[in-house]
Chain A
Amino acid sequence: MKNNRFIIFAGLLAIIAVVFYFATNVDQVEDKETKMKVAFVYLTNPGDHGWTYAHEVGRQQVQEHFGDKVETSYVENVPEGPDATRVIRELAQNGNDMIFTTSFGYMEPTLKVAKEFPNIKFDHITGYMRAENMATGNIRFYEGRYVQGVVAGLTTKSNKIGYVAAFPIPEVIQGINSFAQGLKSVNKDATISVVWANTWYDPVKEGDAAKVLIAEGADVLAQHTDSPAMLQTAEKSGVFGFGQSSDMHEFAPSAQLFASVNNWGPYYISQIQKALDGSWTTGEGPDHWAGNTWKGLSEDFLVLTDFKNMPSNVAKAAQEARDGIANGSINIFSGPMMDNEGNQILASGEVLDDGGLWAMNYYVDGVIGKIPN
């Protein structure tokens, strides 16, 4: 009996191992010596229709652009933490020349492995730590949210905007404040109510947050969480919303006004091209700031889907806002700018620099409530 139990447990473990093998398989595309080998580390399955999906689209663009010159591979479902260190190290040992790690939580694992393999180029997405052979790439996501604010301000009838947010970190706060700046540029009476879901991903809770905001009178919803649940709720309740990370119109054909889509392809292609040319660098100085790429609408790192479900004058205003940010005529955070407690952040004529953007710990005027600690 005891022996039997052991065998069954071993069998169970084997089943689990097989499942895990399929869940985190390495997809090698082809193998030739002369090619440059580039690997990508993904947080979830590329079928998540959100964050990782956008990176996978970027990888496919790389493959298409370089053809036979570059060989790409990826590892999916890599948890942030010690597992990530193991996976990144394995990729480094397997002869990859360049490794892109595509989530904030891979920052320290990447740094650790980068120090062990000084000849391999590491490119971490959305972090702030850099080394001689580790650069950072990021998208100015908040620029799309300004345009969302403009559309929301011209669409709302109740002048109440609901905003479902994940965690009170600078990136999310930048988004809320940028949205508020866009909103105020067209509608001085509208306000934003923020609900923190305290999760990036919990469809039911995101949907509940949307229902609550609608019950409180919001008629346009924005989100900084990952699932399409909020838009589905908006669709059902006859209000409007914006898609997150990828086009979500299939979930909400009559509710999605537009979506800001992360477009990593151009960044990956330019970084790999630089590596091929020998001009890839992480810059000078202790923080390697020159190696930090942070671009948005102007370089098509962020693209907006078609403006739908809105009258033509609103679509026109949205297009003008988009173009204004892209060509630099609109500066989203420029003075005079007040926080929502009446303190002046920027005097007339002042502009917030990148350091100021990453230090945001306040809501600008127009947002209701306080940021939780």
Chain B
Amino acid sequence: MIDALVLTILMTSVPLILAATGELVVERSGVLNLGLEGMMLMGAVSAFALTYVSGSLLVGLLAGVISGCLTAAIFGFFVLGLATNQVATGLALTIFGTGLSGLIGSDFVGKAIEGLPTVFPETLSNMSFIGVFFALDAIAYLSVFIALLVWIFLFKSKYGLVLRACGISHNSAHSLGYKVLTVRWCSILFGGMMAGLGGAYLPLMLTPHWSEGMTSGRGWIALALVVFASWMPSRIIYGAILFGAITIMQLAGQARGWTIPPQFLSSLPYIATIFVLVLISSKGTAKYLAPSDLTRPFISSK
């Protein structure tokens, strides 16, 4: 019984880990992409459509990643190529992605597919206590692995240092000879791929069907999660599992007849995020603060 609950919590947190890890890299490079929800929806609809048509989950996953990347490229073209306001462009991208995914997906409503298989044989996943950690699908393991890689990249490699420098002061990075726009392009495209993959996880694994707007605000939770994690990759994993646990526990609490109002528990992730925001800004240490050039467009003065 507990195993099943833990498994549900882990699976619910996978799309959050993926989308938030991508967004973390984007924000670390100094760009705020509020279009997560739109990119996730584009990833979700492409993944479902291609899986349905081709019958191959791998093709579907790739389609999700690529369409997330392409949607992010639209965003990159505006905010980097034309130095538009990042907040407004990101919001427009969410509206655009929601509308376009609905249009593309209208032919696929009411169709069902087979979801992703688990990786390990049942003998492993049936073990008590630790079995649940062997009961997941490949994308779930991949999501944790990617978060780990991102941490190594950002804090243990030279390129990660350059990327963070672009986020803290793009003028300094530029005067040292680093290509700020190239770095930001790469991070935006990576963010799009992660959001696309996170979106694809919904129709391929969690609920194997497509329906309009099926992310239902998970893109916004992922954005909150980046702040909650104070821009640290490892905390994204704890945070996603914590957010997932709050959601699932409020459902389980109701099933058991607990008397805590479910509306209060539903709002806990947001309250926790605000709490963290207050905590990190009162702490004042630069390490926990947002990249200082976040949302500031870079215009090179050639």
A residues neighboring B (CB under 8 Å):
1, 4-5, 8-9, 12, 15-16, 19-20, 22-23, 44-45, 47-49, 162, 193-199, 201-209, 211-218, 227-229, 232-233, 236, 250-251, 368-370, 372-373
Contacts and interface: CB of A to CB of B under 8 A. Distances in A.
B252 A216 contact: yes
A201 B216 contact: yes
B99 A23 contact: yes
A227 B92 CA distance: 27
Q: Which 10 A-B pairs have the closest CB atoms?
A: A215-B4, A19-B99, A202-B216, A369-B257, A47-B109, A229-B207, A203-B207, A49-B110, A212-B251, A211-B8
Interface string B156-179: 000000000000000000000000
B92 A212 contact: no
B255 A216 contact: yes
Given A198-B266, A204-B207, 10 more contacts: A16-B99, A19-B100, A23-B99, A198-B262, A201-B216, A203-B216, A204-B12, A217-B1, A232-B112, A233-B207
Contacts, number: 142
A211 B96 contact: no
Contacts of B12: 204, 208
B82 A4 contact: yes
Given A203-B202, A204-B12, A5 B209 contact: no
Contacts of A197: 251
26 contacts: A1-B83, A5-B82, A12-B92, A19-B95, A22-B99, A44-B212, A45-B102, A47-B106, A47-B109, A47-B110, A48-B212, A196-B262, A202-B217, A203-B209, A204-B12, A205-B251, A207-B206, A212-B248, A218-B255, A227-B211, A227-B214, A228-B112, A228-B207, A232-B207, A232-B208, A370-B259
Given A208-B247, A215-B8, A216-B1, A250 B112 contact: yes
Contact of B252 (A15, A194, A212): A212
Nearest to B110: A49
Contacts of A202: 216-217
Nearest to A23: B99
Contacts of A218: 255
